[in-house]
Amino acid sequence: MAQHMKDRIVALAGPRKAADMAKLVEKMGGTALLRPAQGTVFLDDEVLRSSIGAWLKAPAPWAIFTTGIGLEAIYDMAEQMGLMDTLNETMQHTFIAARGYKTANALKKRGLAPVVRDDDGSTAGLIRSLEPHDFTGKRVILQLHGESAPKLVEWLEGRGAAVEQILPYQHIPPLEEDISQLVDEIIGGKVHAVAFTSAPQFRFLADYARAHGKLEAVLEAFRGPVLAAAVGKVTAQGLREEGIERMVVPEEERMGSMMVTLGRYFAQNQE
């Protein structure tokens, strides 16, 4: 593999598959620093059991899934509850909407095809695709992706839907020492790039920096010596909402594609 990252230091803010991304950085001649800016925990089984049980007892006409990992968690729990057949039967008679290719692939694995797909991998794109459908007086099961989705919920409720949320897991703040170290490395220009694999990662970073009076210094670093890399459009939008405009985003929303795109940027912008 071409040494596009020779002498470059890349901080990896995503905890998932960080080791695989680090190997890619090293193969391209760079140095990877593992700097998790987010934790993920699965909620209490009883919360998920209760949500799934209520849904399958009284199926809703619509179900919206926003992540593949969330869908997998629902199926795993349904199997533990002895309700796999009920879930399969319910899904066959439900209008399904999906955000993101991983969610669509998880559905396809189970022989299901969404009637609605986002047009660009984002929540905004999903809303655009949902526009033609009538939700007046209809219940909608909404599987969230680690945190609340106020814009989507507000849009659905504005269209007359009754939204019932299922949150199989949630994003949690990283350890303070980890985020503090990353903030200082960004401000000090000790890294050439930071790779983000979800919007909450930068939100947690920005919240910490804001609370310690360092946010403007972080934003200034990203305007100059430090480059942000976002795995896809949803993550990129989250960075933009916090003030980041200069970033690398791959056309294909995959971690490997992000690292390759970042390497090409470095190769084309030698200092």
The number of domains in the chain is 2
Task: Note the pLDDT tens digit of each residue in 206-254.
Answer: 999 999 999 999 999 999 999 999 998 878 888 988 889 899 999 888 8
Q: What is the signed CA dihedral for 138, 143, 149, 150, rounded to 10 degrees?
A: 30
Asked whether residue 1 is assigned to any structural domain, the reply reads no
Query: Taking all residues of the chain, what is their mean pLDDT, rounded to a whole number?
Result: 90
Least confident piece of the model among 167-171, 192-196, 200-204: 167-171
- Whether pLDDT at 40 is above 70: no
Tokens of 173: 């703040």
Instruction: Identify whether residues 102 and 142 lie together within a single domain.
Output: yes
Contact 117/107 with Cβ under 8 angstroms?
A: no
* CATH number of the CATH domain containing 247: 3.40.50.10090
Mean pLDDT for the stretch of residues 26-46: 83
Average pLDDT score over residue span 126-131? 94
Identity of residue 205: L
> Are residue 116 and residue 14 in the same domain, yes or no?
no
Domain coverage including residue 91: 40-169
Residues 126 and 104 in one domain: yes
DSSP one-letter string for 177-232: HHHHHHHHHHHTT--SEEEESSHHHHHHHHHHHHHTT-HHHHHHHHHTT-EEEESS
Say if 2 falls within a structural domain. no
Q: How far apart are CA 221 and CA 29, in angstroms?
A: 23
Q: Which helix (H) or strand (E) holds 42?
A: strand 39-42
| Lookup result for tokens 């700097």 | 35
| CA dist., res. 264 & res. 257, Å (int) | 11
100 and 63 in a common domain = yes
Residue after which a domain boundary falls, among 137, 169, 201: 169
Spatial separation of the C-alpha atoms in residues 233 and 66, rounded to whole Å: 14
| Cα within 13 Å of Cα(173), Cβ side | 13
Tokens 């994003």 found at: 171
Which pLDDT does position 269 carry in this prediction?
A: 83
Same domain, 101 and 48: yes
Among 111, 140, 169, where does a domain finish?
Answer: 169
Is the whole model's pTM more than 0.75, yes or no? no
Mean pLDDT for 61-90 is 93
Q: What is the pLDDT of residue 147?
A: 57
Residue 50 belongs to a domain: yes
> Which residues 6+ apart lie within 8 Å of 29 measured at CB?
3, 4, 5, 6, 7, 8
Predicted local distance difference test score (pLDDT) of residue 225:
93
Q: Which of 141, 169, 197 is the last residue of a domain?
A: 169
At 106, list the tokens: 């998880």
In a domain, 185, yes or no: yes
